Amino acid sequence: MSEVSDFLGAPLYDPGPEALAAIDDFIGGFLTYQTRATRIIAAAEAHPQSCLTNAYAGVLWMLLESPQAPAKAAPYRDRALAAAPTAHPREAQAAAFLDAWARGDLAEAERLSEEALHHWPRDLAMLKLNQYLTFNRGDFPAMLRIALKGLESAADVPQMHGMAAFGYEQCHLLAEAEAAARRALELEPNEPWAQHALAHVMLTQGRIDEGEAFMRAASPGWAELNSFMLTHNWWHLALFLISQGRLDEALAVYDQHCWDAAKDYSQDQIGAVSLLARLEFAGCDVGDRWAEVGEYLKARGCDTVSPFLSLQYLYGLIRTGQPEAGPLLAAIRAETAPVWREVALPAAEAISAYLTGDDAGAIAGLERALPRLFEIGGSHAQRDLFEQIHLAALLRLGRWTAAQQALEQRRGFDPDGVPLNRDLARVYAALGLPVQAREAAARARRTLENHA
């Protein structure tokens, strides 16, 4: 069989023009978060003997992030494995990767994906998948290591720099993250993952107005993205708006951009939960918006695919009074892996305690979980939800000294934030520090006036 290359130059055996076009669409769409990646499903059905086409179709199903994903991926995995003995070694490696992932052997999947990059350094779909897996278990140095390895052979690809930028950012190497993101945007101004990485940098450095303006200017380029990248970049814009005290505008972003796409998809659901919770912590009345989210979350009653996801499902289920919250908490308690038992479970019990009025229990549980919370995956910005729950419990319980310490630490990355400084004004007043209370209130007032 003759050898050809995908559009990035990674080799495979010629599957025919239609299947090769679908493979290119999957790789390109996966790297750029475009919906054309989904064309791989029809191509796999039309070409059951194509190893890589079926491997990628199975991968797409695994990215569903649900308990049903392995069963959805199984027919494609079986076809890919059946075709593997006569396929190109790169294709056979992709089939083995899918098989390991579907079986839950994530360590083997990571090993296979990293090994693939050693043999085929421009197999950037496999690099992206490796980052996905290491991100989900909080191994951010591994994300950076694989990205830097990819840059050696793919520095001409803008998405490669975007992947490096996010690896740097998650390792707190913010200057390097910004430089990599800027390089990606020089090569492709609409590169959404680089925009996303730069939003992280600006949020972490307290560049709130700059971040809001940057993401606002970038937003016209998001219309054709898949639901995750579309809703998630808007979610980042909403965080800047919340800091600026523009709560009505942040709520409009929720309605028009964050909760209007794939409402049954994991990432859209947790984005909705997180954004509604943050708006409430900021003092916003979100009306009846929780009700619809709760209806969609009912299907997550026993979903423990990921501790990061499950904790946010649990928040939404309890917040909306769904009976499925009980089975999900029981499912979390039944998990035996250390990250579940030692990190996710105390966080889950803290969430339950907070939403049922037991602030002392919420504080105790989160103080156990927070030092190791990176192990559940998710980004710094996403995991900040749990820091905010802890802070809300401190404020509600009147633990003013602990709240003052937490708020002043947060002010390092949100110096003029309206909700934060309003909370500080309240805390300093309770602590008998009227000068500091007035200064905090003045910071909040100036920010509001600047955005009136």
- 261 touches 231 (CB < 8 A): yes
Rg (C-alpha) for the chain, rounded Å, is: 23
Give pLDDT, residue 148. 98
For residues 391 and 363, give the distance between their C-alpha atoms in angstroms, rounded to a whole number.
Answer: 8
What tens digit of pLDDT does each residue of 45-79 get? 999 999 999 999 999 999 999 999 999 999 999 99
- CA–CA distance, 139 with 73 (Å, rounded to integer): 26
Residues forming a β-bridge with 225? 34
User: In angstroms, rounded to a whole number, what is the distance separating the alpha carbons of residues 16 and 66?
Assistant: 32
Helix (H, G, I), strand (E, B) or coil at 7: coil
Whole-model pTM: value is 0.97
Helix (H, G, I), strand (E, B) or coil at 225: strand
pLDDT in tens, 169-215: 999 999 999 999 999 999 999 999 999 999 999 999 999 999 999 99
The dihedrals phi and psi of 13, each to the nearest 5 degrees, come to -80, 145
Mean pLDDT per segment of 10 residues, for the chain of length 452 residues?
95 98 98 98 98 98 97 98 98 98 98 97 98 98 98 97 98 98 98 98 98 98 96 98 98 97 96 98 98 98 97 98 98 98 98 98 98 97 98 98 98 96 98 98 98 91
- What pLDDT sits at residue 153? 96
Residue pair 137/147 in contact by the 8 Å Cβ criterion: no
Cβ atoms of 126 and 116 within 8 Å: the answer is: yes
